[in-house]
Amino acid sequence: MSRSSIAVDEPTADQAVIAGVGETRFALPDDHRSGEALTYEAVTAAAADAGIPVEEIDGIAKYSYDGTVSDTDLARQLGLRDVTFSVEIPHGGGSCASVLQAAAAAVRTGLARHVVCYRTVVAQQWFRQMATADAARPYYYDAKRYLRPVGLRTYIDMFALLFAEHAARYGTDRRHLGALAVAAREQARRHDNAVLQEQLTTDDYLAAPAVSGALSQFDHLVQVDGSVAVIVTTADRAGDLTGRAVPILAVAESGGAPSSGYWELASLRSDPFQTAAGAAARRLYERAGVQAADIDVTLLYDCTTVCELMVLEEYGLIPRGEPDAVLVDGFGQTAVPVNPHGGNLAGGYVHGFSQVAEAVRQMRGQACNQVPDAELALIAGPPSNGSSGAILGRAGR
């Protein structure tokens, strides 16, 4: 059902590609597997999928504030011999495509040959770290002094307030959020590694009691323990490997004013719905030479249904301020396919990186909930203070 009519050039020798992907089983917490063990499993699986010995990894691009395993241990316990490139990206979930950008730059400039990008989440550890991060993260200051005292405790409260403004401005209501929650669950039912497999009906959704503002338990992510890793290299190197290389056609990042500041401060911007995600989206489409209508499958950051709605608007997948667009038959499934792996809402929350793994599977034509003939996959980060997006093309062979 490819909607793209553009011709994608044959990859050049220095085209950055994803040559391997590894993903652990996602399990509801507490699965009693350590973050270290999960990370080693995902990284070694990605290397094996690419067809390189794991010790050939010579670059690491990962999210900041990772509390699961140190780079030192990663290198020591995987036997990485000589790591020539290491970066951490500070955009929280907005790092999901930024790590690919860093890895692509590194392999194309020769700073490294095989860069691993990964994210591991042990839910109980991560959400405890998020709630008690004051000492470790100076940028958390504003949250402690100006958000917590007014009752904004977590990302759920923040998105509830954003939704209240969206509703006041555009007439958005729970039917719109419900359509997204129900679609995510339908997708998850067809994906083997998604943790929420039970059907969610619109009636179930609308009957759920409010937790914060208009949001209920069905509006936010499902916590899991899991790890996802990919190996980025160049097309010419990938040609010698066994893994089916997926080209990174374009990647873009945005941060800074007016979106800067701790991400939970979003409602304090003069327009909270103009975010770094939109700036990254415009840059991404320009670099790729495509438009939203060309995208065949979208892997977007959906820590809440409200977040998903905002990303859909920012990436031009629905018209801004016209939420009825998500009520059309099959939205998120057959019409504008979104997160065939169930996303954060139903598949499991790995800080947006399971979206990258699913994009690779979709571009190889190997996903268990495959979008037929998909040629372009969009990875779209959250409306945070810094965000990023990427467009992957179909695997070459």
Partner 1 sequence: MTAATGSYFDAEREALHDGYMQALLAGGLVVQICETCSTSHFPPVVRCATCGGRSHGWIAHRLGRVVASTYAEGAAVATVLVEVDGVRLLAVADPAMSLPPGAVVERVDVRPDDRAPRVAVAVDPAGR
Comparing CB distances to partner 1, the nearer of 141 and 372 is 141
Closest to partner 1 by CB, 67 vs 146, is 146
- Least separation in angstroms between CB 217 and partner 1: 11
The answer for residues whose C-beta is within 8 angstroms of residue 207's C-beta and 6 or more apart is none
Instruction: Give CA–CA dist 299/362, Å, rounded.
Output: 10
Going by C-alpha positions, the residue among 80, 354, 384 that lies closest to residue 191 is 354
Sequential DSSP letters for 300-360: E--SBHHHHHHHHHHTTSS-TT-GGGGGSTTEETTEEEB-TT-IIIII-BSTT-HHHHHHH
Report the residue number, 66 or 157, with the smaller CB distance to partner 1.
Answer: 157
Q: Which is nearer to partner 1, 145 or 397 (CB)?
A: 145
Residue 67 CB, shortest distance to partner 1, in Å, is 18
- Tell me the C-alpha distance between 52 and 50, whole Å: 6
DSSP string, 45-76: HHHHHHTS-GGG--EEEEETT--S--HHHHHH
Question: How far is 363 from 34, CA to CA, in rounded Å?
Answer: 31
Measured in residues, the chain has a length of 397
- From residue 3, alpha-carbon distances to 18, 322, 325, 336 in Å are 23, 22, 18, 10
Tokens standing for 308?
Answer: 């998903």
Helix (H) and strand (E) counts for the chain? 12, 13
Q: How far is the CB of 46 from partner 1 (least distance, A)?
A: 36
CB of 135 to partner 1, least distance (A): 5
Considering the complex, state which of residue 13 and residue 257 has its C-beta at the smaller distance from partner 1.
Answer: 257
Q: How far is the CB of 248 from partner 1 (least distance, A)?
A: 34
Rank residues 76 and 169 by Cβ distance to partner 1 and give the closer one.
169
Q: Which is nearer to partner 1, 28 or 210 (CB)?
A: 210
In angstroms, give the least distance from the CB of 279 to partner 1: 17
By the criterion CB under 8 A, which residues form the site for partner 1? 134-135, 138, 141-142, 145-147, 149-153, 157, 160-161, 164-165, 167-168, 209-214, 257, 265, 267-270
Classify strands 215-216 and 210-212 as parallel, antiparallel or unpaired. Answer: antiparallel
Q: How far is the CB of 211 from partner 1 (least distance, A)?
A: 6
